[in-house]
Every structure is written in C-alpha cells, then in structure tokens.
Structure 1
Amino acid sequence: MQLVCEHVPISTPRIHNLFFDDRHMYIVMDYVDGEDLITLWPKLSLWRKLYVVWTIRRYIQKLRAWRPPKPDIPGPIDASGEPVDCECPQFGEWPQGPFANYSELCAWFEHVRALTVDMAKHRFHHEIDEKNLPHFDRSTPLVFFIHGDISMRNIRVSKDGTVWLLDWGFSGMYPQWFEYVGMMKYRAWIDPHPWLWMFCIPFMAGWYHKQASFLDKIRIGLQNPFWRITPVKAPDNRGGE
C-alpha cells in the first residue's frame, strides 16, 4: 500500500504507523470522511455512477503502468524487496508461495490443474477432459499493482467527491487478469453487487472470461483442505490458453 502511495497517482490512504501485538497487526492510516460505494450507490445519479466507474478504470490503468525494480517477482514483497506468501482468492483459501519468479507461479497453477484432474478421478469418480482443460495464461506480464479485491465495499467516496481505493490486503504483482477475476467474484449470491457495476467490470478491468473460467475449473484443487500446496520449480515458459 505504501508503494502505491509513493509511486502511483491515485487516491488511497497513506500509512503513518504500523505496530504489532502477540496476535494482531495494527495500521494507522488516513481517515477518509465519506461513504462506502456499496451504500452510496443507490443515491447516485446515473452520470455520477459512470464517473465512479470511469475513475476506477483510470486507477487500474495507472496501477498497471508502473514497473517495479524486480518485475519478475510475483505476489507481495516485504520491505527488503523479497517475495512473501500470496494471499488472495485466486489461490484458494490458504496462503501460497512465496514464488521466486513468474515461472514458479505458472508452474504452481499447472500443478493445481494436474491435482484437480487427479482428485476428480480418484476421489470424486468424475473424469475431466484434460485435453480441453485450459492452462494458466501467462501471456501478459506481471503488473504493478493488482489490488485483488476491488469491490464496492473497498471504494469510498469522500464528501468532496474524490473516489478512494481502500483495503490492499490481497494486493501484489500478478497477471493483469487477476483484477478482473477478483472483481467478478461479487456476482455470487454471498455479496451480490448491483447489475450496472457488474456490467461495467470488463470496461474497468478488461475482459478475461477464459482466464476466470480456468480458475473455476481447477476449483477442486484450489479448495483441497488437507494440505498446503508447495511452490513448484519449473523452467517451462510455455504460455497457457
């Protein structure tokens, strides 16, 4: 989050202090006096809603435009620039990694793909057509930064009309289609977003339906609750579908 504040000209709160106790981490940051978009949305005019959509599109483009000093390290990094575990829904329910480079990240997802095929066959007695199961798409470079959870609950509009992007807990350097996947998860019944917002997601983040479909199809492997999948080292640079 601090890297975003320092390098990307978008509206996000600045961090002023960080401290820990035995169980928790506490962050002291700017307070944004306003209202979360999820509650403000019904009160906005159509043109104001489209203004917010356009602003988020512009923020995503700016986040994708900046290149970090180590552009091949996926996920979040610590203060020294070293990779740390990846924590976002695209990896399932448990942290994964850290990954030393993009190829390791791709190999990990290919490993989960193979695990999905094996689990479907031997645990659920369901054959998956592996030949038509897509591969991880690494056709786009890692970008800085993927927010990872752009929802209407993580967007606040201040009293002066500024659109602020909050809560960077799932952020990191990932393929740019991760942003689309993170936004599209709010089509589910658990926390459904308004239809106009969902309709505008491809305009804001790009259209990556095939990549989202890949994660859906390997969900069995991603949600395996019995063991933590370890990073897989593989020099294979083959692009996915």
Structure 2
Amino acid sequence: MSPDFHDDLLQHYSEAELVHHIRASPRHATTPRVFLLSVTLLAKHYEPPLIEDMVKATEAARRLGIRAPCIKRTIIYEGSAFCVMERIQGATLEEIWTRLSWFMTIKIALQLRHFVHLLRSVTSSVAGSLATGQCLSFWLEDRYGLPARSRPEDIAYFIQFWMNFTSIRKAMKAAKQVSVNAKRQISPVARTFVLTHHDLAPRNLVLDSSGQLWLIDWDYAGFYPIYFEYASLQNFHTPKDWNLFARLR
C-alpha cells in the first residue's frame, strides 16, 4: 500500500497524483492489474474503452441488491484507465473451498442462486456489454468477432457456425452455397438476453467474515443467452490439491 495515500483525500487528488499513488502500491499476488491502494481500497487497470462497461455493470448489480464492490472513482490518464473501488474484506472461494463445511457450501449456493435470479430479472433484446454493447463473452470471441449489440439471429448463426466448423476451406465453401436470406432463417437461441456476470468462477466469489457472498470482477458482464452463466462456471481449472470431497461439492 502506498504510504502517502489517504483514503479521505481520494476525491481531491489530481489524476496525476492518484496515478502516482496507484503505481506506488503493491500489486495483487495473482492479478497484476490490481493494485492494493489501502486497507479499504484497491485500484484496477483497464484499457480505456472497457472501463465504462465494467462500471455500469457493477452499478447495475448493486442497484439490484447484489453484493458487489462500490466504485469510488475512475480516471483515464495518459492512455491508461484505472478504477478505484471498495476492497472487499474476505477470501475467495478458490482460497477457502477445501475448508468449507457442507452447511456453508449450501448457504453459499443459495446466495449465489438468489443473485443469478436477480440478474435474470433484467433483460435486453440485443446482446453485449451495458455501455458499448461489445460482445466480450469467452464463448463469442473469434478473429472477426460479433458486432456490438448483436441480435438473437447473429448469436444463433455464430454458434451454429462454430458447432459445425471443421476447417476454413469447408467453411468458406459452405458460406458460398448459403444465401444471405437462408442465414436469416436460422432460429434464434433466445428472443431476449439476460444480464449475466459471465465469470462466476471461485476466484470471483468472495466470502466475508459474516458469511455473506460478494461477486467481484464484472469485466465481462453483459446481456447474453441465459445458459451462458452456466457455461461461465466452467471457466475454472480445479486446483490439483483439492481432495475428492472438495471436488464433489
């Protein structure tokens, strides 16, 4: 933590001063983009075009009643963007999973289920992040990418393409044989998309000292097909030191 930084002066520091304090702070052990600014605050580095999406998603989650970090200040300075936010006091499920009881596991599962239901109460007719509309999904990225605020037909065609993909040559040949109108006749994956955290891996689930669950890291949040949240749970490699009991839970 930066020895000269004072929480109560956060809103009064100039952008240059705040960036100096951030860069003078130690980095998180496993997430180099995160700086431990103080006991109660941390700062995370972003590419400037992406920070607004994260901020809007985090604020939307908090309005729904989901426990997420409070955004304190954002700045864009000399080509870099930083978000200063509340530092949640607790441990990630990745860190403590092997020590949790069955009772606590069920309690956490019920809290997470409630949060997901709250997210699904918010829907959209187009996919993508909340500010720019970019499709930042792990499951919708390729060399060309999807357009911002994609329609259900776009998502359906994208998924069908990759499910049937065998080689570039065959894909190009098939594309020439299918008319544009035929492509539009593909049944959409869903008529509406739901608000999705999109990275509900144990590293992004924090349990505080009172047993309350917090969801952090809203970088990939946006509107996507309902099953994408389930898929995001698989974006996690089980640690080798987890025993059978931990894996079964």
For Structure 1 versus Structure 2, the TM-score category normalised by the shorter chain is 0.5 to 0.7
The answer to whether the 8 Å contact 1:184/1:198 transfers is no
Question: Which residue of structure 1 aligns with residue 189 of structure 2?
Answer: 138
- Shift of the 87–122 alpha-carbon distance from structure 1 to 2, 3 Å rule, reads closer
Residue by residue over 1:7-52, the C-alpha shift from the partner in whole angstroms, topping out at 9 and shown as x without a partner, is x111111212111233432111112111111111122211111111
In structure 2, distance between residues paired with 1:197 and 1:96: 38
In structure 2, distance between residues paired with 1:195 and 1:137: 40
Question: Which residue of structure 1 aligns with residue 232 of structure 2?
Answer: 182
In structure 2, distance between residues paired with 1:92 and 1:113: 14
Question: Which residue of structure 1 aligns with residue 83 of structure 2?
Answer: 27
The answer to whether the 8 Å contact 2:125/2:191 transfers is no
What is the CA RMSD across the aligned residues, in angstroms? Answer: 3.2
Residue by residue over 1:137-162, the C-alpha shift from the partner in whole angstroms, topping out at 9 and shown as x without a partner, is 6146311x111110110011111221
- Shift of the 199–91 alpha-carbon distance from structure 1 to 2, 3 Å rule, reads farther
Question: Which residue of structure 2 aligns with residue 87 of structure 1?
Answer: 136
In structure 1, distance between residues paired with 2:169 and 2:243: 34
Q: 1:148 aligns with which of 198, 214, 228?
A: 198
Secondary structure of 1:97 counterpart: coil
Gaps of 5+ in 2: 1-57, 173-185
Does 2:205 match 1:161?
no
Question: Which residue of structure 2 aligns with residue 221 of structure 1?
Answer: none
The answer to whether the 8 Å contact 2:201/2:235 transfers is no
Q: 1:104 aligns with which of 139, 144, 154?
A: 154
The answer to whether the 8 Å contact 1:140/1:176 transfers is no
In structure 1, distance between residues paired with 2:192 and 2:158: 17
Secondary structure of 1:184 counterpart: coil
Does 2:127 match 1:77?
no
TM-score of the aligned structures, taking structure 1 as reference length: 0.62
Does 2:92 match 1:36?
yes
Aligned length: 178
TM-score of the aligned structures, taking structure 2 as reference length: 0.61
In structure 2, distance between residues paired with 1:65 and 1:192: 37
Question: Which residue of structure 1 aligns with residue 105 of structure 2?
Answer: 49
For 2:61, give the aligned amino acid: V
In structure 2, distance between residues paired with 1:185 and 1:98: 23
Question: Which residue of structure 2 aligns with residue 171 of structure 1?
Answer: 221
The answer to whether the 8 Å contact 2:98/2:246 transfers is no
Secondary structure of 1:185 counterpart: coil
Give identity over the alignment, percent: 18
The answer to whether the 8 Å contact 1:138/1:175 transfers is yes
> Where in structure 1 do 4 or more consecutive aligned residues deviate above 6 Å?
189-198
The answer to whether the 8 Å contact 1:110/1:136 transfers is no
**1:58 Cα deviation after fit:** 1.3
Task: Kindly name which structure, 1 or 2, has the bigger radius of gyration based on alpha carbons.
Answer: 2
For 2:197, give the aligned amino acid: H
Question: Which residue of structure 1 aligns with residue 33 of structure 2?
Answer: none
Question: Which residue of structure 2 aligns with residue 60 of structure 1?
Answer: 116
In structure 1, distance between residues paired with 2:243 and 2:141: 25
Gaps of 5+ in 1: 124-134, 201-241
